[in-house]
Structure 1
Amino acid sequence: MSGTGSQFHEFFNDPRWALAMVRATVLEAAHPQIGAALLDNSTFVAHPWRRLRNTFVSMQRMFGADEHARQREAARLNRLHARLNGTDARNRPYDAMNPKVRAWVVATLFESAVTLCRLGGQPLEQGTMDRLYADFQALLAAMGDQAGHLPPTLQEFWQYFDHMVEEELENTEALRIILYKLFDHLPAPPLLDGMPTVWAAGRALAGPVVGAITVASLPESFRRRAGLPEIPGAQTLMQSAYLAVGLARFLPDGWIKAENIAGLLSLSPDSDDPRARSITAVRDGMKRAGALIRLITPLPAQPDPAGAGEPERSAEEFFDAVLDQTGDGFLDWPDLAAMARELSGRLDLDEPEENKLYDAYAAWWRELQAALDTDGDGRVSRAEYAAGVPSLAGPALIRVAEVLFDATDRDGSQTIDGDEYRALFRTGFRRDVADTEGTYSRSAFLKDFLSFMAGRRRSSAFDPLLSEA
């Protein structure tokens, strides 16, 4: 499975892999247990680009040549999955550590890789397919799952896959959100943040097309049973898309690489990455294009926060942008768990430090629930938060800030240096946070974090941590 010799490595930078990933995600969401877990815990609606990047980085580690990195990533994923369990709307239990469920996730990735080649007019040879299947079996084994949850042979796999599609998958709410809400309301990636008109115009055209392509690529038996619409010409459009995107493989090496594209999608124009200067020029051009679009289309003008410094914002705006990580309109434990998950991933924490951060967020959730959940329904609404926002910065939140500082301060110097700052914020020091010695002091960090979490003002440093799409 590992390194550049694996069959999967040859597919990893194929630009069509993005289409395959979307298709695999839809098939995963159609599984009732996975769909319920996504609905309750995932940030894929409010923060899809962040989740895409995190998934890409995780797959890089799991299929990379570094055995130690692979073991650490497998352990991290197991800790993450162990925290995802509950019951769905029909009171059916779900558990992300269920080995059969985990096997289905791997199965969708393998089958979608095979499908992207078939739909692109380049079906895999039998030997290549066998080696690719062995790579995905090894992925499941690296997670610690016993053999047998995926069929041992490729011939048996196709029987297993057909059974799952025809008997186990459902038209879940998570699937419907991906197909009919996510594509139509996809937030702009950091690259295009601050240019809502340009993004809205492009999304209005691309969203329905991506949705139609995805539906057309799903197994026919599932489309029929789930009642998914048959759009005239969708099959031709889908095959054309796979063929057209696949032509990018003939470009010179380095022009189209999934790693480079993923990095650009998550790159902030405020980053100290050298590519940021080029992105800034692109953004300036797009802003001019956005101004032209506003003149010739009925799209409503929207405020452009770029260049506005750090203006004040309402409690409701902060609730939507930062606190409601899952995008369901309420604040509850999965939202705070998503914050802990994102920060732990950025800092690549080991289990003890990760547990400390989760425990701190859990204590903050209990504090928030006691202070703000006035109707006793176990969650905090936007209105409840806005009414009780002065109660936000209690002792538990101070503990979150302290634990986050300690996790970032890897050398224990009680200051955050440039490398530690970059690990958390993915950018170099801003002049307004570094002191005269070129470090970020503990007191300054705690003050800035607590001020940001009070929710009244934007923060150029802290906003991208939790609010970027």
Structure 2
Amino acid sequence: MAMIRATVLEAAHPAIGAALIENSTFVAHPWRRLRNTFLSMQRMVGADDEMREREAARLNRMHARLKGTGPGNRPYDAMDPSARAWVVAALFESSVTMFRLSGQPLEQSFMEELYAEFLAVLATMGDEPGYLPGTLPEFWRYFDKVVEEELENTEAMRVILYKLFDHLPAPPLLSGLPTLWATGRALAAPLVGVVAVASLPESFRRRAGLPEMPGAQTLMQGAYFAVGLTRFLPASWIDPEYLINLLALSPDSDDPRARTLAALHSRMRRAGALLRLITPFPAQPEPTAATPPSASPSASAHRKDTEEFFREVLDQTGNGSLDWPDLAAMARELSSRLDLDEPEETRLYQAFADWWRELQAALDTDGDGSISAEEYAAAAPSLAGPALIRVAEVLFDVTDKDGNQHIDADECRTLFRTAFRRDPAGAGGATYTRSAFVKEFLAFMSGRQRTTPFDPLLAEA
């Protein structure tokens, strides 16, 4: 709940909101984004100095690529130290608020110690001191000033509050139970939005014109207090890393816990089938016209597959079109999974940039700088050009850590670790030669084959 609140406050900052709406995958791939964010936070606050420095360097390289022009032609730059300071400020203030609302207010000395640790995160990132105040009393004045003078009702904030949770896809754990997930989401999504709005600073709620439902404050305080009671549960039950990994677990993975999940899914599907069997079907309207000859079943199925591939794989940011930020998001996800250093990461980004230029030349028929689903469907074979082959070759090189021109089972696990569904130690193992890897990658990225590990790698939510 603190993360949701902090994200809303971050998105209300004009520069951060513009960067999020233009470049982030939080709409189309929220669970992947949550997992990656949590991993990054673990690294940044861990005890390993080398790991912290390495993660800070990776984040700086990522932020350096996020710049552009947002609404009102206002430029944004993710390396802006004042915007980065606000991200840290929102996380710290939301953490303190979470403890206060859950009935565990922090002592002053503990807050000062916690604030010093948040300041250390900015220092590790290499930002100059001064963008966040040096003392806690000064911080509260700074926070109130930013809330009063800089935060706005941005598009990114509205998406988080009023769209994200209404359309939140199921995590891998519940991907086989769409009815159960849709029912729970329909009940919980409005409540999450109400609680998130009610927890924001009152002055900002008024200025941004955010509606507040009757009883919202009571609901919000009750929700935080109920979450606070989880501290009495066994620690292993509420460990964030365990919970996130559990949500990311697919029932058909090779994790031992997956067998229990698969059995549970099977029982729930049978119960759902029985319910549908004993429930009368609603009356169906009679067809009014014959299906046009042009809309053959095979053509309809192909169109549906094309639209699904465009939406789930190519449109990483979820804005309905294919743009450079979508391919940059793919490069970012692959670089993060493989934990690439600067030279290899730059090679991968450059390969994706070359592919984007090739796609624009081949598919952007109206010259608007982006590729629509219709433009993609009309010229999909052009996806598998020389530049995409280069992407596949670079990805093979950076995955093949030992340089033996063969991706072994361990290297495969590194690339596909959150969705890998085969046992590498099994018959023959899961390995690739260069030609086999390039062939399978091209088949996937051109939309011709959706049964490879690349599908959950880039399409998972």
TM-score by length of 2: 0.92
Given the alignment of the two structures, is residue 258 of structure 1 paired with residue 250 of structure 2, yes or no? no
Please report how far the alpha carbon of residue 435 of structure 1 lies from its aligned counterpart in structure 2 after TM superposition. 8.3
Look up the match of 1:172: 154
Match status 1:411 vs 2:402: yes
Q: CA deviation at 1:429?
A: 6.8
For 1:86-125, what aligned pairs fall within 5 Å after superposition? 86-125=68-107
> Which shows bigger deviation, 243-252 or 23-32?
243-252
Structure 1 position 289, deviation (Å): 4.7
Alignment of 1:67-466 (within 5 A): 67-291=49-273, 314-426=305-417, 430=422, 436=428, 439-466=431-458
From the superposition, tell whether residues 294 and 199 of structure 1 become closer, same or farther in structure 2 (CA, over 3 Å). Answer: farther
| Structure 2 residue identity aligned to 1:444 | A
Residue in 1 that maps onto 2:15? 33
The percentage of counterpart residues that share the same residue type is 71
Q: Secondary structure at the match of 2:72?
A: coil
Aligned-partner Cα distance in 1 for 2:56–2:275 = 47
Using the alignment, how far apart are the partners of 1:147 and 1:445 within structure 2? 47
Deviation at 1:456, TM superposition (A): 3.0
SS in 1 for 2:210: coil
Shift of 1:284: 2.1
Amino acid at match of 1:355: T
Contact preservation (8 Å) 1:198, 1:286: no
Question: 1:433 Cα shift?
Answer: 12
Distance 1:283 1:342 in 2: 29
Q: Is the 8 A contact 1:197 1:293 kept in 2?
A: no
Deviation at 1:430, TM superposition (A): 3.4
What is the Cα deviation at residue 239 of structure 1? Answer: 1.1
SS of the residue aligned with 2:236?
coil
Structure 1 unaligned runs (5+)? 1-18, 300-310
Give the match for residue 290 of structure 2. none
Give the C-alpha shift of residue 283 in structure 1: 2.3
Kindly provide the amino acid, as one letter, of the partner of residue 447 in structure 1.
K
Worse-matched range after superposition: 97-106 or 248-257: 248-257
Give how far 1:298 is off: 9.6
Distance (Å, rounded) in 2 between the aligned partners of 1:119 and 1:383 = 49
Matched residue of 1:90: which SS?
A: helix
Per-residue deviation, 1:278: 2.2
1:286 offset after TM fit, Å?
Answer: 3.5
Cα displacement string for residues 297-353 of structure 1 (whole angstroms, at most 9, x for unaligned residues): 999xxxxxxxxxxx9762111100100000000001000000000000011110111
- Deviates further, 208-217 or 267-276: 267-276
Give the greater-gyration-radius structure (CA).
2
**Matched-pair contact (CA < 8 Å) for 1:425–1:461:** yes
Deviations for 1:118-172, whole angstroms, at most 9, x for unmatched residues?
1111111000000000010001101000111100110000000001111100000
Corresponding residue SS for 2:249: coil
- Which SS does the other structure have where 2:76 is aligned? strand
Question: For 2:359 and 2:327, how far apart are their aligned partners in 1?
Answer: 11
CA distance in 2 between partners of 1:437 and 1:222 (Å):
56
Q: Structure 1 residues 290 and 242, CA, compared in 2 at 3 Å: closer, same or farther?
A: farther
Deviation at 1:290, TM superposition (A): 4.2
- Give the letter aligned to residue 163 of structure 1: K
CA shift in 2, pair 1:268/1:238, >3 Å: same
One-letter amino acid matched to 2:197: V
CA distance in 2, matches of 1:437, 1:318: 28
AA of the residue aligned to 2:169 = P
The answer on whether the counterparts of 2:68 and 2:75 sit within 8 Å (CA) in structure 1 is yes
Distance apart, 1:276 and its partner CA: 1.8
Q: Name the SS for the 1:136 alignment partner.
A: helix
- Encode CA deviations 1:253-280: one digit per residue, 9 max, x unaligned: 3121000011111222232222222222
The two structures have a TM-score, normalised by structure 1, of 0.90
- Tell me how far 1:191 sits from its aligned partner: 1.0
Do 2:324 and 2:353's aligned partners in 1 also have CA atoms closer than 8 Å? yes
**Partner-residue secondary structure (3-state), 1:314:** helix
Q: CA deviation at 1:292?
A: 5.7
Is contact 2:253–2:422 with CA below 8 Å preserved after alignment? no
Partner of 2:29: 47
Q: Which moved more, 1:170-179 or 1:228-237?
A: 228-237
Q: CA RMSD in A?
A: 2.0
The Cα shift of 1:227 comes to 0.6
Which residue in 1 is equivalent to 2:292? none
Which amino acid is 2:200 matched to? L
* 1:114 counterpart letter in structure 2: V
**Pairwise CA distance, 1:194:** 3.3
